[in-house]
Amino acid sequence: MIDIKGLYKSFGQLQVLRGISLKVSDGEVVCIIGPSGSGKSTLLRSINLLERPTYGEIWIDGKLITPPDPYLHFDVIRASNTYRHMAQERQLPPDSPEDLDIVRRIKEQDLLKPREGRPYLDLMRRIEREHRVDDHYTRRRIGMVFQHFNLFPHMTVMENMVYAPMHVNKLSRQEAEQKALTLLNTVGLMDKKDVYPATLSGGQKQRVAIARALCMEPEYLLFDEPTSALDPEMVKEVLAVIKALVESGISMVLVTHEMGFAREIADRICFLDEGILVEDAPPDVFFSTPKSDRAKAFLEKVL
Ligand SMILES: Nc1ncnc2c1ncn2[C@@H]1O[C@H](COP(=O)(O)OP(=O)(O)OP(=O)(O)O)[C@@H](O)[C@H]1O
Ligand SMILES: [Mg+2]
């Protein structure tokens, strides 16, 4: 399961994600939709560690993949100098109304500083030690497919496919090529294994990119508008590949503007607007009876 807790992301003064909490269960397909600039790509990139959250944590299968966020742990806040000063050494029992008031104030007003004393640091380190995994763990489990394919232009299709399995997963060339051939076959591109990406159509490039992601045997696949850079006649072939993947039962988070497709394959639709998860509902519910005015306005424009 992917468990995103209270995710915030700012670039300088610009707040892009403003407190996103979202769970993706095993085998679930979650489609993320929303206006341009609402933070969809930033959310996906955060799951894949291409961005570091400003606040919040992301857990995968019970392991913490981001640095711990002190604001999500009341005991950490209580161990800080700031808390102690504010509580003025009064013996406040934990969870007493006054204690909770202080903890909430520290959290809401973002009062913690980088150095908060030894007990605070010890607790932060303990969370790291007990729960945090290194980036390799995440990169092996999560595959990502981008709008613009991101194939390595100086490598053949086959070299693109085997690079990460050999270097990250430490497969032998033979094992990696075997796997790559099987996957190229599934996406119907076996005959393209020795060509360079520049000679492929957009649809073919995207199918290679999907096969390349699968070559790492990820448990989760993230798609960021996988068809929006494609000519209309190529959209279908890529959606067909994604649909076959859905049927294989892999967990998926997909950002898309293809509303019909989202409705067809998603277990849940998450509607993002201005960095806030405004709605999270099964497709039938979302498309027939959106609750918020923002979702209604968005759907009126795109449907
Ligand atoms: N590295 C960055 N530095 C500064 N601003 C950024 C950065 N990445 C994204 N942004 C800004 O964050 C906001 C959200 O961007 P994001 O790409 O997540 O939106 P999106 O929902 O994926 O939009 P689209 O549908 O157009 O792809 C935008 O205003 C964007 O300009
Ligand atoms: Mg985007």
4 φ, ψ (degrees, to nearest 5): -100, 125
pLDDT at 303 over 90: no
All residues with CB under 5 Å from ion ligand 2: 41
pLDDT at 88 over 90: no
pLDDT at 70 over 80: yes
pLDDT band at 86 (very low <50, low <70, confident <90, very high): very high
43 CA distance to ligand 1 middle (Å): 10
Average pLDDT value for residue range 231-253: 93
Average pLDDT value for residue range 20-30: 97
Work out the percent of the chain whose per-residue pLDDT is above 90: 93
Q: Given the structure tokens 């199918």, which residue do they identify?
A: 207
Please state the atom number of ligand 1 nearest to the C-alpha of residue 45. 18
Average pLDDT value for residue range 83-99: 87
pLDDT band at 32 (very low <50, low <70, confident <90, very high): very high
CB 223 within 8 A of CB 255: yes
Amino acid at the residue 135: D
The pLDDT of residue 94: 83
- Does the beta carbon of 16 lie inside 6 Å of ligand 1? yes
- Helix extents (H) in the chain: 40-47, 74-78, 81-87, 97-108, 118-131, 135-141, 157-167, 173-186, 202-214, 232-248, 259-265, 283-288, 293-302
Please state the atom number of ligand 1 nearest to the C-alpha of residue 255. 22
169 CA distance to ligand 2 middle (Å): 29
Please state the atom number of ligand 1 nearest to the C-alpha of residue 51. 1
Q: How far is CA 262 from the centre of its chain?
A: 17
Average pLDDT value for residue range 49-72: 96
The pLDDT of residue 159: 97
35 CA distance to ligand 2 middle (Å): 9
Torsion angle of the four alpha carbons 89, 92, 97, 100, in this order, in degrees rounded to the nearest 10? 60
Average pLDDT value for residue range 53-82: 96
The pTM for the full model equals 0.93
- Helix extents (H) in 109-187: 118-131, 135-141, 157-167, 173-186
- Could you give the angle at which helices 173-186 and 157-167 cross, rounded to 10 degrees? 130
pLDDT band at 114 (very low <50, low <70, confident <90, very high): confident
In whole numbers, what is the pLDDT of the chain averaged over residues?
A: 95
pLDDT at 244 over 80: yes
Residue in 9, 38, 301 to alter for ligand 1 test, most ligand atoms within 8 A of Cβ: 38
- Does the beta carbon of 40 lie inside 6 Å of ligand 1? yes
pLDDT at 89 over 80: no
Question: pLDDT digit string (tens) for 189-218?
Answer: 999 999 999 999 999 999 999 999 999 999
User: Ligand 1: which residue has its CA nearest to atom 18?
Assistant: 39
Relative to the alpha carbon of 33, which ligand is closest? 1
pLDDT at 91 over 90: no
